[in-house]
Chain A
Amino acid sequence: MEERDLRLRNLTYGLFVELGRAPAAVEVAERAGEPTSEVEAAWRRLHDAHALVLSPGTPELRMANPFSAVPTAYRVEAAGRSWYANCAWDAFGICAALHVDGRIETSCADCGEPLAVEVRDARPDDPALLFHCLVPAERWWADIVFT
Chain B
Amino acid sequence: MNLFRSEEHVERWLGGRPPGATLGVTTLAELAQAWWADRLSPAWRPHTRAQNQAILDGLGLTGPFWRLPG
Write the residues of chain A forming the contact surface with B, with a CB cutoff of 8 angstroms: 1, 6, 9-10, 13-14, 17, 49-51, 65-66, 73, 87-99, 106, 108-111, 113, 115, 117, 119, 122-124, 126-141, 147
Contact = CB atoms under 8 A, between A and B. Distances in A.
A17 B40 contact: yes
Given A110-B5, A110-B9, A115-B3, A131 B44 contact: no
A66 B39 CA distance: 9
B68 interface: yes
Interface residues of B, number: 44
B54 interface: no
Contact of A137 (B6, B9, B28, B68): B68
A119 B29 contact: yes
Contacts of A122: 29-30, 33
Given A129-B4, A136-B20, A110 B66 contact: no
Interface centre among B17, B36, B64 (most CB of A within 10 A): B36
30 contacts: A1-B45, A1-B46, A13-B39, A51-B46, A65-B39, A66-B36, A87-B1, A88-B1, A88-B2, A89-B1, A90-B1, A93-B35, A95-B32, A96-B35, A108-B5, A109-B2, A109-B3, A110-B10, A119-B29, A122-B33, A124-B28, A128-B6, A130-B22, A131-B2, A131-B24, A131-B25, A132-B20, A132-B22, A136-B67, A147-B1
